[in-house]
C-alpha cells in the first residue's frame, strides 16, 4: 500500500513503515560496504549530484527527483540507496536526515551543505555547488593518478625484469662459471649470492618482508603513525610540494563551497581539516579552529597554527583580504583555482623530469645485471689461466 506523505509521525502505519525503512537501510548499507563505499562514491556520487541539481533547478519536487534518479542509476547498490532515501523523505525525514543514514557514502561535507541548503531555502543552489565541487575534486584526483601511472608502470617493469633475471638467467650463468672453478669478479659473485639467497631462502625472506609490512601497516594505522607519516611526506623530494598544493586546494575548495552555502565557520574548519587528506595539516587546521572559536580572525589563526609547517603566505593574505571585504568564500575560491593550476603545472613538470630518471633507473638496473653476468666472459682468459 502506498504511504500517505501527509501521515503523522505517530501513526501506526508510519511507525511500521519507519521500522521497515531502518531495517532496509541497514541491509542496503551492508550491501554497499560489501561492494565498497569508495568505489560507489567514485562511480555514482558525482553523477547523482549533477542530475539532482539539474532537476531541482527545473523545479521538480525532491521525492520525484529521487524516483527519477533511482531509475537512472546503474549500480544496484547505489540504486537501492537512492530509493531508500526517497522513501525516507516521503515518510517525513528531511533530505539531510536521510543522507545522514548513509554517512559513510555521502560524508560530512555533503550532509552539512544539504542541511544548510534546506534551512536557507536554497537547496537547488547548494546542490549545484556540490556538483561543481565534486566534479573539480575528481578532476584533480584523475590528474594526479594519471601522472603517477607511468612511473608506477616503469618501476613495476623494472622489478619484474630484475626478479626474472635473478631467478632464471643468473643461475644459468652460474652453472657455466662453476665449470671453470675459478674465482669470479666481485660484482658477479655478489649477484650470484643474491640469486642463491632468494631461491633457497625465499620462505624466510617472504616471512620477514611480510612481518615488516604488517608491523609498518599497524603502526601507520595508529594516530601517531599516521601523523608522523603525513608530516614527513610533506617534506618528500619532488612529491612533497605537490601533496601540499593538493591539500591546500582541497581545503580551500571545501571551505569556499561550505561558506557560500551558509555553513558555520567552525563546522567548515572541522570538515575542511579532513578534506585535506593529510592528518598533520588537519590537526593544524583544528588548532586554528580553536583559535577562531576564541575570537581570532581566521587568517591570523591559520598563520599562528602552522607549528612545524608554514602555511602558504598567499592563503593567509587572501583570507585576510576576504575578511576585510566580507568575501572570504570568493577569496578561497581563487586560492583553490590557483593551487589546482599549480598542481597541474607541477605534475607536467614532474612527468617531464621523471621520465628520463626512470628510464635511466631501468637501464642501470637491467644493464647492471647484464654487465655483472658478462664480466667474467670479458675476462675469460684470466679465469682460464687461473
Q: What is the dihedral of CA 108, 109, 110, 112, to 10 degrees?
A: 80
pLDDT of residue 16: 52
Average pLDDT over residues 38-60: 80
Of 133 and 121, more confident: 133
Cα separation of 349 and 342, whole Å? 10
**Over the stretch 13-25, which tens digit does the pLDDT of each residue have?**
545 554 554 455 5
Q: What sign has the CA pseudo-torsion 49, 51, 56, 61?
A: negative
DSSP string, 26-77: HHHHHHHHHH-HHHHIIIIIHHHHHHHHHHHHTT--HHHHHHHHHHH--SHH
pLDDT of residue 139: 84
In 219-358 the beta strands, taken as DSSP E runs, fall at: none
Across 106-129, b (16+ Cβ under 10 Å) vs e yields bbbbbbbbbbbbbeeebbbbbbbb
pLDDT higher than threshold 90 for residue 277: no
pLDDT of residue 9: 40
pLDDT of residue 81: 87
pLDDT of residue 125: 86
Which distant-in-sequence residues (6+ apart) come within 8 Å of 63 by Cβ?
5, 86, 89, 90
| Nearest residue to 44 (alpha-carbon basis) of 8, 75, 87, 88 | 75
pLDDT of residue 205: 87
**Over the stretch 174-209, which tens digit does the pLDDT of each residue have?**
887 777 666 778 888 888 888 888 888 888 888 999
pLDDT higher than threshold 60 for residue 6: no
| Nearest residue to 242 (alpha-carbon basis) of 319, 339, 336, 309 | 339
- Using DSSP's 3-state secondary structure scheme, residue 10 falls into coil
pLDDT higher than threshold 80 for residue 221: yes
pLDDT of residue 381: 60
pLDDT of residue 174: 80
How far, CA to CA in Å, does 314 sit from each of 164, 308, 321, 361?
50, 18, 10, 37
Cα separation of 360 and 331, whole Å? 43
Average pLDDT over residues 320-338: 91
Q: Calculate what percentage of the chain has a pLDDT beyond 70.
A: 85
pLDDT higher than threshold 90 for residue 215: yes
DSSP string, 270-284: HHHHHHTS-HHHHHH
pLDDT of residue 210: 92
pLDDT higher than threshold 90 for residue 318: yes
pLDDT of residue 207: 92
pLDDT higher than threshold 90 for residue 321: yes
Cα separation of 1 and 83, whole Å? 16
How far, CA to CA in Å, does 322 sit from each of 299, 300, 327, 328?
9, 13, 5, 4
Average pLDDT over residues 303-307: 77
CATH 1.20.81.30 residue ranges in the chain? 133-386
pLDDT higher than threshold 50 for residue 375: yes
CATH of domain 133-386: 1.20.81.30
- Using DSSP's 3-state secondary structure scheme, residue 286 falls into helix
- Is residue 275 within 8 A of residue 251, CB to CB? The reply is yes
Of 9 and 161, more confident: 161
Q: Calculate what percentage of the chain has a pLDDT beyond 90.
A: 10
| Nearest residue to 328 (alpha-carbon basis) of 239, 276, 263 | 263
Cα separation of 326 and 319, whole Å? 10
Average pLDDT over residues 51-73: 90
Give 385's pLDDT tier (boundaries 50, 70, 90).
Answer: low
Q: What sign has the CA pseudo-torsion 102, 108, 110, 111?
A: positive
Give 146's pLDDT tier (boundaries 50, 70, 90).
Answer: confident
Across 17-53, b (16+ Cβ under 10 Å) vs e yields bbeebeeebeebbeebeeeebeebbebbbbbbbbbbb
pLDDT of residue 382: 59
- Is residue 228 within 8 A of residue 221, CB to CB? The reply is no
Average pLDDT over residues 209-234: 90
Greatest alpha-carbon span in the chain: 102
pLDDT of residue 8: 37
Amino acid at each position: 500500500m502506498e504511504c500517505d506523505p501527509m501521515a503523522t509521525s505517530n501513526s501506526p502505519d508510519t511507525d511500521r513503515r519507519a521500522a521497515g525503512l531502518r531495517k532496509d537501510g541497514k541491509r542496503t548499507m551492508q550491501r554497499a560496504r560489501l561492494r565498497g563505499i569508495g568505489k560507489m562514491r567514485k562511480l555514482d556520487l558525482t553523477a547523482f549530484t549533477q542530475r539532482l541539481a539539474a532537476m531541482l533547478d527545473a523545479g521538480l519536487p525532491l521525492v520525484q527527483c529521487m524516483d527519477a534518479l533511482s531509475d537512472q542509476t546503474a549500480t544496484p547498490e547505489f540504486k537501492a540507496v537512492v530509493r531508500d532515501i526517497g522513501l525516507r523523505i516521503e515518510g517525513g525525514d528531511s533530505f539531510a536526515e536521510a543522507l545522514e543514514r548513509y554517512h559513510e557514502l555521502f560524508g560530512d561535507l555533503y550532509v552539512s551543505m544539504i542541511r544548510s541548503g534546506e534551512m536557507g531555502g536554497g537547496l537547488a543552489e547548494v546542490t549545484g555547488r556540490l556538483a561543481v565541487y565534486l566534479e573539480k575534486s575528481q578532476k584533480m584526483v584523475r590528474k594526479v593518478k594519471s601522472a603517477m601511472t607511468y612511473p608506477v608502470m616503469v618501476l613495476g617493469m623494472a622489478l619484474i625484469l630484475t626478479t626474472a633475471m635473478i631467478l632464471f638467467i643468473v643461475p644459468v650463468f652460474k652453472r657455466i662459471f662453476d665449470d671453470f672453478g675459478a674465482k669470479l669478479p666481485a660484482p658477479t659473485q655478489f649477484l650470484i649470492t643474491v640469486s642463491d639467497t632468494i631461491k633457497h631462502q625465499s620462505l624466510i625472506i617472504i616471512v620477514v618482508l611480510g612481518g615488516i609490512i604488517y608491523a609498518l601497516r599497524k603502526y601507520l594505522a595508529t594516530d601517531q603513525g599516521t601523523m608522523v607519516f603525513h608530516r614527513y611526506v610533506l617534506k618528500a623530494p619532488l612529491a612533497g610540494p605537490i601533496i601540499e598544493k593538493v591539500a591546500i586546494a582541497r581545503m580551500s575548495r571545501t571551505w569556499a563551497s561550505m561558506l557560500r552555502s551558509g555553513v558555520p565557520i567552525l563546522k567548515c574548519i572541522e570538515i575542511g581539516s579532513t578534506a585535506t587528506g593529510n592528518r598533520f595539516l588537519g590537526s593544524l587546521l583544528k588548532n586554528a579552529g580553536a583559535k577562531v572559536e576564541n575570537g581570532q580572525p581566521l587568517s591570523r589563526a591559520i598563520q599562528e597554527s602552522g607549528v612545524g609547517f608554514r602555511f602558504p603566505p598567499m592563503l593567509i593574505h587572501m583570507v585576510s583580504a576576504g575578511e576585510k571585504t566580507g568575501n572570504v568564500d570568493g577569496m578561497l575560491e581563487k586560492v583553490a583555482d590557483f593551487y589546482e593550476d599549480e598542481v597541474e603545472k607541477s605534475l607536467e613538470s614532474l612527468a617531464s623530469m621523471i621520465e628520463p630518471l626512470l628510464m635511466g633507473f631501468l637501464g642501470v638496473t637491467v644493464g647492471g645485471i647484464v654487465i655483472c653476468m658478462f664480466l667474467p666472459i670479458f675476462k675469460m682468459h684470466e679465469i682460464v689461466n687461473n
